[in-house]
Amino acid sequence: MDQVEKIFETRELNVNMGPQHPATHGVLRLVLDLDGETVVNVTPYVGYLHRGIEKLGESLSYFQALPLTDRMDYVSAMSNNIGYVVAVEKLFGIEAPERAKFIRTMVGEMSRISNHLLWLATHALDIGAMTVFLYCFREREWILELFEKICGARLTVTYPRIGGVRNDITQEFLESLWKFTEEFPSRILEYETLIDQNRMWLKRTIGIGVISAEEAVNWGLTGPTLRGSGVPYDVRKFTPYDAYDRVEFDVPVGTEGDTYDRYRCRMIEMRQSNNIVRQCIEKLPPGPIMADAPKFTLHPKDAMFPITHPTKEHAFYIDEKVCKGCGMCLRACPVKAITGEKKKPHKIDQAICLQCANCLAVCKFKALKIVPGGKGLSEDKLKELAQAPLPEEITKAKEHLVEHFTFIKRGPRAPEGDLYVATEVPKGELGFYFVSDGSGKPYRMRVRAPSFIHAGVLPRLCVGHLVADVIANIGTIDIVLGECDR
Partner 1 sequence: MTFKKFIKTVTFIEILKGMALTLSRFFSRSVTIQYPDERRPIAPGFRGQHALAKHPQTGEAKCVGCGLCATICPSQCIHVFREKGKVSRYEIEVLRCIYCGFCVEACPYGAVVLTENYEYSDYSKENLYMTKEKLLSNWDKYMPGNKGEEYFKRFWRPMSGDFETPSQQPMFRGKRS
Interface with partner 1, residue 156, by CB under 8 A: yes
DSSP secondary structure string, 157-176?
A: ---EETTEESSPPPHHHHHH
Residue pair 442/62 in contact (Cβ under 8 Å)? The answer is yes
Residue 369: contacted member of ligand SF4, partner 1, none (CB under 5 to 8 Å, by partner type) = none
Interface with partner 1, residue 174, by CB under 8 A: yes
Nearer to ligand SF4 by Cβ, of 175 and 341: the residue is: 341
* Minimum gap (Å) between residue 122 Cβ and ligand SF4: 29
Residue pair 406/296 in contact (Cβ under 8 Å)? The answer is no
C-alpha distances in angstroms, 309 versus 294, 318, 355, 371, 386? 21, 22, 12, 15, 20
Per-residue x/- mask for partner 1, residues 224 to 243, rule CB under 8 A? --------------------
Interface with partner 1, residue 266, by CB under 8 A: no
Interface with partner 1, residue 486, by CB under 8 A: no
Interface with ligand SF4, residue 68, by CB under 6 A: no
Residue pair 127/196 in contact (Cβ under 8 Å)? The answer is no
What is the C-alpha to C-alpha distance for residues 89 and 467, in angstroms, rounded to an integer?
Answer: 45
Interface with ligand SF4, residue 323, by CB under 6 A: yes
Residue 302: DSSP 8-state: G
Which residues in 343-362 contact ligand SF4 (CB under 6 A)? Answer: 346, 348, 353-359, 362
What is the C-alpha to C-alpha distance for residues 57 and 419, in angstroms, rounded to an integer?
Answer: 15
Q: Strand 164-165 to strand 347-348: parallel, antiparallel, or no bridges (unpaired)? A: unpaired
What is the C-alpha to C-alpha distance for residues 70 and 256, in angstroms, rounded to an integer?
Answer: 34
Residue pair 76/155 in contact (Cβ under 8 Å)? The answer is no
Interface with ligand SF4, residue 402, by CB under 6 A: no
Interface with ligand SF4, residue 383, by CB under 6 A: no
Interface with ligand SF4, residue 326, by CB under 6 A: yes
Nearer to ligand SF4 by Cβ, of 119 and 316: the residue is: 316
Distance of CA 317 to the CA centre of its chain: 43
Query: Which residues are 68's β-sheet partners?
Result: none
Interface with ligand SF4, residue 53, by CB under 6 A: no
Kindly indicate which of the ranges 143-151, 187-195, 258-266, 315-323 contains the residues binding ligand SF4, using the contact rule CB under 6 A.
Answer: 315-323
Residue 6: contacted member of partner 1, ligand SF4, none (CB under 5 to 8 Å, by partner type) = none
**284 residue type, one letter:** L
Binding site for ligand SF4 (CB under 6 A): 316, 318, 323-329, 332-333, 335, 337-338, 346, 348, 353-359, 362-363, 365, 367-368
